[in-house]
Amino acid sequence: MRARRLTGSLAWLVVVTLTAAGCGLSGGSDDGGATAGGCKVNEGNVGSGKLTGDVKGKITFQTTNLKKDFGGFFNGVIKDFEKANPGTSVKWIDDPGDNTFTQRTVADAQGCTMPDVINIDAPTATALTKAGYLLNVGVKDPDAAKPFVPAFWKSSTYKDASGKAAHTVLPWYTGGVLLTYNTDMLKKAGIDPAKPPKTMFGLFADYEKIAKSAKGKYFATMANPIWRIPADWDQMNIKTLSADGKSTAFADDPRTAQWVAWMAKLYKEGAMPKDSLSSSNDPSTPYSQGQVAYGSTNPSFVRFVKQNSPSVYAKTGVGQQPFDALGHTTAAPQYISVAATSKHAPTALAFAKFLTNAENQTAWCKDPKVVIFPTTTTSLDDPFFQNATGSDPFSQARKLVAEQLKTTTAYQTNVSPAVQKAIVSQVQLAMQGKKSPEQAVKDAQEKADELLKQAG
């Protein structure tokens, strides 16, 4: 099971609102000036030409809830940048990153006051790119891609107002995905912990073996499908949305109904606690208490178990998340973007590249307060990630995730919470035996399409 990828409903609404308002990026306005969204900007910030200009002046840099724990590191990065670029000044502000983040950020953009350099997530990047408020880094700096893992960079695009993919973000840090499991429970079920399954249905087959072995004393995993949709489908290369994102496509793939049938079978056979079907609890706590065989897929979870449940940690193993039909994993990175409205865009772009370069990414990932992974090729090859020794699960997890990130792509399927809920509720009905898997998938697609149509 992998971490749920919730998207902000506000972000979804914001995209609609901005589209209706006719916002976008333009090389000219009514009075002849360049615009980004509804803001007048320097002509060099928009259009097809490379960004030029002196790196000097004051810019504002906004992170998301990082100042409390990482003040020393980021103040050092800022100081180094200012020293290397005389005449520059970086003002660092930190947003709490609450549920209104996207709404507030878009409001700032509409007011032409968005920070010059900003840390954003995928929903916010979707809204701001469509409205034309972010610098097209791929156009404005053709060399911007060089430090990053090629597949990661190539997939880190968002659609502008015309529907064209644009590189408006620099990949920053990410979490990673892997299997974590109780080796004792797997062995009792006749599963070799050293040979993790390569497909989702292979993993489901192992769940079934655990249910038969456990006989109700413990479980394989938690039931609520909200933790798996659309992540599992992405890994199986099932297209949740159509190419233009205006409708769903998952019902067209027969594997979706097979996936639902597996979930229903596992639930019926006791692989999952009955009361977890609609629970918001992920497997972290029950795993640490020895109640489920598979834990959270986040590498930081392994360290959590190490620190808080030594007896369970001693039995913990880690393995590759099934690559399945996709052939690699996906990640949901945090991004750094430059405002197209910046008055000192050359300085903002220079700082964004400095912040995300291999040296600074590697340094931050080594901070003992976090378990995060970089997005640059050089960083992933650092001995910190590659020189895992012994059988310590946490070290093995770090090496495993760093290796798989060399071929990963950024997470692309972006559904609103309302659409996700509509799909999940139908799957839950199938798991309860109230609908056939085929009917549940059909109904899920119809309900999701209605919501997408309403959203425009």
What one-character-per-residue DSSP string does 327-357 give? TS-EE---EEEEBTT-TTHHHHHHHHHHHTS
Q: How far apart are CA 318 and CA 390, in angstroms?
A: 13
Closest alpha carbon to 241 in 445, 6, 427? 445
Q: What is residue 112's predicted lDDT score, i.e. its pLDDT?
A: 95
Mean pLDDT in consecutive groups of 10 residues from the start of the chain, 456 residues: 37 41 43 81 93 97 95 97 98 92 93 97 92 96 96 93 93 94 98 97 98 97 95 95 90 98 98 95 92 94 94 96 94 94 97 98 94 95 82 89 92 84 98 98 97 86
Q: What is residue 10's predicted lDDT score, i.e. its pLDDT?
A: 37
Question: How big is the chain, counted in residues?
Answer: 456
Q: What is residue 282's predicted lDDT score, i.e. its pLDDT?
A: 85
* Residue 357, burial from CB neighbour count under 10 angstroms (0-12, 13-18, 19+): middle
Q: What is residue 271's predicted lDDT score, i.e. its pLDDT?
A: 98
Neighbours of 175 (CB within 10 A): 19
Q: What is residue 192's predicted lDDT score, i.e. its pLDDT?
A: 98
- E strand intervals along 136-284: 158-159, 165-166, 170-171, 179-182
* Each residue's pLDDT tens digit, 113-168: 999 999 999 889 999 999 999 999 999 999 999 999 999 999 999 989 888 999 99
Q: What is residue 265's predicted lDDT score, i.e. its pLDDT?
A: 98
Q: What is residue 412's predicted lDDT score, i.e. its pLDDT?
A: 67
Q: Are 426 and 259 in contact (CB under 8 A)?
A: no
Q: What is residue 21's predicted lDDT score, i.e. its pLDDT?
A: 39
Q: How far apart are CA 130 and CA 19, in angstroms?
A: 8
Query: Residue 39: which H helix or E strand, with range?
Result: strand 39-41
Q: What is residue 390's predicted lDDT score, i.e. its pLDDT?
A: 65
Helix (H, G, I), strand (E, B) or coil at 69: helix
Give the CA count within 13 Å in the CB-facing half-sphere of 279. 14
Q: What is residue 6's predicted lDDT score, i.e. its pLDDT?
A: 29
Q: Are 210 and 185 in contact (CB under 8 A)?
A: yes
